[in-house]
A and B are shown apart, each in its own frame.
Chain A
Amino acid sequence: MAKQILIVGGGLAGTIVANGLCRQLREEVSSGSVALTMLGATETHMYQPGLLYVPFGRMRESELFREQRKVLDRHVRFMVDPAKHIDTDKRVVTTQSGKTHGYDFLVIATGSRIRPDNIPGMAEGAHWFYDLEGARKMRDALATFKGGKVVININVPHKCPVAPLEITFMMRDHLAAKGVLDKSEITYTYPVGRVHTLEPVAKWAAPEFERFGIKSEVFFNTKSVDAKAKTITSEEGTTLNYDLLITVPPHSGQQVITDSNLGAGGWVPTERYTLLREGSSNVFVVGDTTNLPISKAGSTAHFEADTIVDNLASLLKEDRWARNYDGKVFCFVETGLNTGTYVWFNYTTPPNPGPPSQMIHWFKLAYNRLYWLSARGLL
């Protein structure tokens, strides 16, 4: 009887786990002693960080997508049939079409989703770039924007921790290139008392904001948006007027997680070193889906997935644990349309961003292409 590994979710995390296991368990997968199944939500795989470039015309929509079947190793049984219920006691996942899948090991990689609907008026009044439809609308709005008050509003929780700064610097460069910067005013709002939660990043970004004339409003947790009056109000009692509102909406986990009683908000309680679901020995959690107090980012998903691949392969081949996850996160930070920097940190090492350079921006542009090697488990 083949050992069944079931991966729920076909984003970056689930895909790296699937492809990595196929590489490390080549013999077992080929002989049929290990079977890998993935339940995905769509036929296509999207390079999500590319959405940041779409509103500025710096990436075309077609560059964001690949067929998921072509990204996956051919030994993975891939089905577009998302999970509807996960029963970890009975070790069974039921899909939206009504099929059931048993498993020996389960990898939950359902990810996160934007929830502008959680803040009154946000869906009607704001633009965002966190999904394709939003990025398209924002691209259209920028094309007709002739200058005015731009509010860039950040909410929690959200994935890609440096995207707030990136979109702000890129907007400033975009308005300058369009010749409407002198008729515009950019105000950046952030939930805590500095412009970024990472103190070294905030210390670097605050003077950059000042240099570029970008205003900031900290301790701003969004209460509501009035799309008619074009105002946004915070829980702290501040109201700002806007002509163009760009938001990083709050996120939640997926409905299947809450419906299956696996975690409040769709985030699954996860052991920080093993990446096992708390109290479980055969359910791994990876990527945005965990409740770990670390960044929800592609690199987090990648480093976690690598750890799970090593451990699952080791458990199946040698019945032993391989290694723990050290909390590693790496993020490029675009500091405009032509420069960039990066930060990395883990559970014990704080971040320390270096000075921005054109070279690092080029590395980021190169990574926009190399991503597909990551997803295939080659990089």
Chain B
Amino acid sequence: MTVKQKIDARGAFCPGPLMELIAALKLVEVGDDIEVLSSDKGSVSDIPQWVNKVHHEMVGITPHEGYWSIVVRKAK
């Protein structure tokens, strides 16, 4: 599975990485992956928490220098 869309939300305070992800998921197909780049440490817990709540799928979280790469798969 390749990443369908990348959201560079580094340095984004508002609407913020999770809000960007929620909006972007509406525009891709079921099974597509979205990668969010976030410099907000809170995203590492916020995003998986929301993804589990609405039953999408976490693909992975990779730490980088000063930011995290978080990949989510649209499951429904």
Q: Out of B9, B14, B22, name the residue touching A161 (CB < 8 Å).
A: B14
Most B CB within 10 A of own CB, among A235, A250, A327 = A235
- B23 proximity list for chain A (CB < 8 A): 156-157, 250, 265
- B13 proximity list for chain A (CB < 8 A): 198, 345, 350-351
- B17 proximity list for chain A (CB < 8 A): 293
CA distance A161 to B20 in the complex (A): 13
Inter-chain contact A156/B15, CB cutoff 8 Å? yes
Shortest Cβ distance from residue A186 to the other chain B in the assembled complex, whole angstroms = 22
A221 lies within 8 A of chain B by Cβ = yes
- B22 proximity list for chain A (CB < 8 A): 156, 191-192, 221
Inter-chain contact A156/B19, CB cutoff 8 Å? yes
Inter-chain contact A192/B11, CB cutoff 8 Å? no
A80 lies within 8 A of chain B by Cβ = no
- A347 proximity list for chain B (CB < 8 A): 11-12
- B15 proximity list for chain A (CB < 8 A): 156-157, 161, 197, 293, 295
**Taking A156-B22, A235-B54, A264-B27 as contacts, is the C-beta distance between A198 and B49 under 8 angstroms?**
no
Shortest Cβ distance from residue B45 to the other chain A in the assembled complex, whole angstroms = 9
Inter-chain contact B20/A192, CB cutoff 8 Å? no
- B11 proximity list for chain A (CB < 8 A): 327, 347-348
CA distance A38 to B12 in the complex (A): 31
Closest to B42 in A: A199
Closest to A292 in B: B12
Shortest Cβ distance from residue B68 to the other chain A in the assembled complex, whole angstroms = 15
CA distance A347 to B17 in the complex (A): 13
Q: How large is the interface on A (under 10, 10 to 19, 20 to 34, 35 or more residues)?
A: 20 to 34
A193 lies within 8 A of chain B by Cβ = yes
Interface class of chain A by DSSP: loop
**Taking A293-B7, A350-B13 as contacts, is the C-beta distance between A197 and B53 under 8 angstroms?**
no
Inter-chain contact B20/A293, CB cutoff 8 Å? yes
A114 lies within 8 A of chain B by Cβ = no
- B9 proximity list for chain A (CB < 8 A): 293
**Taking A219-B50, A293-B8 as contacts, is the C-beta distance between A345 and B19 under 8 angstroms?**
no
Inter-chain contact A236/B12, CB cutoff 8 Å? no
**Taking A199-B42, A293-B7 as contacts, is the C-beta distance between A157 and B14 under 8 angstroms?**
no
Inter-chain contact B14/A192, CB cutoff 8 Å? no
Q: Out of B8, B19, B49, name the residue touching A157 (CB < 8 Å).
A: B19
A329 lies within 8 A of chain B by Cβ = yes
Interface class of chain B by DSSP: mixed
Closest to B56 in A: A235
Inter-chain contact B54/A197, CB cutoff 8 Å? no
Q: Out of A191, A219, A348, A351, name the residue touching B14 (CB < 8 Å).
A: A351
B16 lies within 8 A of chain A by Cβ = yes
**Taking A191-B22, A199-B42, A327-B11 as contacts, is the C-beta distance between A236 and B16 under 8 angstroms?**
no
Most B CB within 10 A of own CB, among A221, A235, A293, A295 = A293
Closest to A118 in B: B26
CA distance A152 to B70 in the complex (A): 31
Q: Out of B8, B16, B27, B50, name the residue touching A197 (CB < 8 Å).
A: B16
- B53 proximity list for chain A (CB < 8 A): 219, 236
Most A CB within 10 A of own CB, among B15, B16, B22, B53 = B15
- B46 proximity list for chain A (CB < 8 A): 192-193
Inter-chain contact A192/B16, CB cutoff 8 Å? yes
Inter-chain contact B18/A192, CB cutoff 8 Å? yes
A227 lies within 8 A of chain B by Cβ = no
Shortest Cβ distance from residue A161 to the other chain B in the assembled complex, whole angstroms = 5
CA distance A157 to B25 in the complex (A): 11
Report, nearest first, the 8 A-B pairs whose CB atoms are least far apart: A293-B12, A347-B11, A157-B23, A293-B9, A197-B16, A265-B27, A295-B14, A264-B27
Inter-chain contact A294/B14, CB cutoff 8 Å? yes
- The 8 A CB mask of A141-174 against B (1 = contact, 0 = none) is 0000000000000001100010000000000000
Within 8 A of B (CB), among A214-239: 219, 221, 235-236
Inter-chain contact B12/A294, CB cutoff 8 Å? yes
- A193 proximity list for chain B (CB < 8 A): 46, 49-50
